A and B are shown apart, each in its own frame.
Chain A
Amino acid sequence: MNAPRVVIVEDDLQIRRFVRDAVAKAGCTAIEAGTGQQGLAAIAAEETQLLILDLGLPDMNGVDLIRELRHWSALPILILSARTTERDKVEALDAGADDYLTKPFGLGELLARMRVLLRRHGSDATASPLFQFADIEVDLAHHSVRRGDTEIKLTQLEFRLLATFVSNAGKVMTQRTLMNEVWGPGHVGQEHYLRIYVRRLRQKIEQNPIQPRHLLTEIGVGYRFQP
């Protein structure tokens, strides 16, 4: 298999340089673009495995770029965005982005996010009803969760929430997406349901519910399940 092709859309030359080095370190081919239009052209030109996108572009709104791209491509998208712009991140994620990194970020974080997105993209076909993380085993087919030999009892909604997390492992999910997946549409304004159920799920699954290792909170954005 060829090295995965990664398109970087970022207007700041120095940040782009750092991201390009990181992409090269991960063994991928980096294609750089300074504007949204250049980025879209680069993605359309050849098969691409990942897009790293800065939300603040000089020529177009990053969210619009995501929407346009989603018409014709399911390519994973990693957003780079400043702190204090949680609203923009949520908008970008709801528009179809897969994950985000808050500036400033280190090399380690960037490599980890890239790895997750590239792996997810490559392994979608091999879905199995059994999912394991830490000492927990989730059987999606039989709706059962076990820690070692002991069964963990979950309510229907708790299970549905866990199943949603598991099948989107590594990805940030906005509150809206989670509410829609688990409770169905029409629950705007009841996001506290979600928070309470996540808390319950943590109490049943996490070793230390206050400092969780798997069900992580992305404050102001949503949740991330990390196997």
Chain B
Amino acid sequence: MPVTLSRTLTRTLSALLLCIAMALLALPMRDWFEPANTAMLFLLLVFLVALKLGRTPAVATAFASVALFDVLFVPPTFSLTVADAQYLVVFAVMLAVGLITSHLTAQLAERKEAAQASEREMRQLYELARDLGAVLTVDQAVDRLATFLSERRLAAAVLIDAGLGGAERFATYGRLELSPRDQERAMAAYQQGAVLASEAHWFIPFRGATRVRGVLVAVYVDTARPLLDAVASLAGIAVERLHYAEVAQRSELEVAAEKLRTTILASLSHDLRTPLTSLIGLADSLHADLAVQKVGAGETAGIIRDQAQAMHRMVTNLLDMARLQSGRVQLDRQWQPIDEVVGSSLRLLADLLAGRPVTVDLPGDLPLVLIDAVLIERVLCNLLENAVKHSIPGAGIRLSAHAAGETLQIAVCNEGGGFPLDDPTGLFDPFVRGEGTLAPGTGIGLAVCRTIVLAHGGHITAENHPGGACVRFGLPLGTPPEMEGEPA
């Protein structure tokens, strides 16, 4: 490079001038000084030049010094004849001192340069880390990374695992074009969690505290690896931080939405039930008053009450469906004997079941099941209600339960024409009703049943059997807790 060349030339010329100056300085003292001492002065000069001006000027100084020393101070003076071969040693030492010193100095300078460069790099990495700590989106983070790398002539692309919940769906960012093969290799690096290299690219997976988050792909530069490693680890931390920030924000939103839903359902429930409660109560009151007087209107009041009650059951099912389908069903599961739930359902529906021969077939020693009793009672009530609604007055109803392997099987059957469909499975979908059904209803009772049973990890089926229809559901049995014995 011309700049360096001319600098070396200038320095060499200055070195030669220094030699001449030294010679002129030492010349008047020639008669008092031993030649060896003068040689020392020249040696010092070589050393200083090597230290300050570098290798070429030092070598030049060594040559010039020996020449001047030989000509001016070694007898016979003003001639280049080497009378005494011993001065060759002086020359060799000077040359050696010059070379060694300049070499050491150069090395020192290089090291200093390197130290400064790495300090600069550290500072920039620190700045990168700081900036990544402040970014709010993955796009911003990738922009910042790409800027950092392109400042170092390292074109790069970043592939980030965008599949929340582990699906390895990559979103690609950055300015580097990736062939399908490169994509595959990036995927391999991601899956193995190990750095891969091709002729053209580095594939460096980066991880956060929990798992691999993505892959940094950069053009292959042999020496860039440590820097890329550092950048990759910063990218891992940043992407993970953004991921968790997003998760936190989303769950906060979900909690708020859930709260809102619960509030709306609660007030809807209150507003719908309150008028029904007074309607049922007032009609019942009226019915009681008029029935004593044996007036026809008393019967009307009774019908109003019954219709309001039927309406209330529909509203309950609709609200339950809304509650069960919106968000997560929270089960209050406890170890329960199923006979309690059966007994309580039969008692709740005592009015509806009056005049129906009800057969209950429950072994006395059924194991406990882990259920939300309130919800399973709802299932039984819905099934019993359906059994009544879809059969003629006086037709029998049968409720049975037995343990079969790991499941408690419960069936509610009626005597009648059975389901009007060939495949009754569809009846469990909301708002599906049997064709030609005359009985009132919204077609939501069975859907509620299915939602509740599925939430318990069970299953539910509907089928026709000779002489009627059956709905069966199974609940997983599990292992009931131990019970301390008591002396009889």
Q: Which residues of A contact B (CB under 8 A)?
A: 12, 14-15, 17-19, 21-22, 25, 56, 82-84, 86, 103-108, 110, 153, 155-157, 190-193, 195-196, 198-199, 203, 209-212, 216-220
Contact = CB atoms under 8 A, between A and B. Distances in A.
Contacts of B192: none
A211 B320 CA distance: 26
B374 A220 contact: yes
Contacts of A105: 277, 280-281
Contacts of B280: 104-106
Interface string B271-289: 0011111111110110110
B405 to A, nearest CB: 22
Contacts of A192: 334-336, 368, 480-481, 483
Given A106-B305, A211-B346, A195 B277 contact: no
B347 interface: yes
B312 interface: yes
B334 A12 contact: no
A210 B282 contact: no
Given A192-B483, A199-B337, A220-B373, 15 more contacts: A19-B281, A82-B273, A104-B280, A106-B284, A106-B305, A153-B488, A195-B335, A195-B336, A199-B339, A199-B340, A209-B339, A212-B343, A217-B340, A218-B344, A219-B374
Interface of B: 269-270, 273-282, 284-285, 287-288, 305, 308-309, 312, 316, 319-320, 323, 332, 334-337, 339-344, 346-347, 360, 362, 364, 368, 373-374, 377, 480-481, 483, 486-488
Contacts, number: 120
A25 B286 CA distance: 12
B316 to A, nearest CB: 7
Which applies to chain B's interface (DSSP): helix, strand, loop or mixed?
Answer: helix
Contacts of B481: 190, 192
B337 A155 contact: no
Nearest to B287: A107
A155 B487 contact: yes
6 contacts: A82-B269, A84-B320, A105-B277, A199-B340, A210-B360, A219-B340
Contacts of A209: 339, 364
Contact of A18 (B285, B339, B480): B285
A112 B257 CA distance: 43
A195 B346 contact: no
Contacts of A82: 269-270, 273
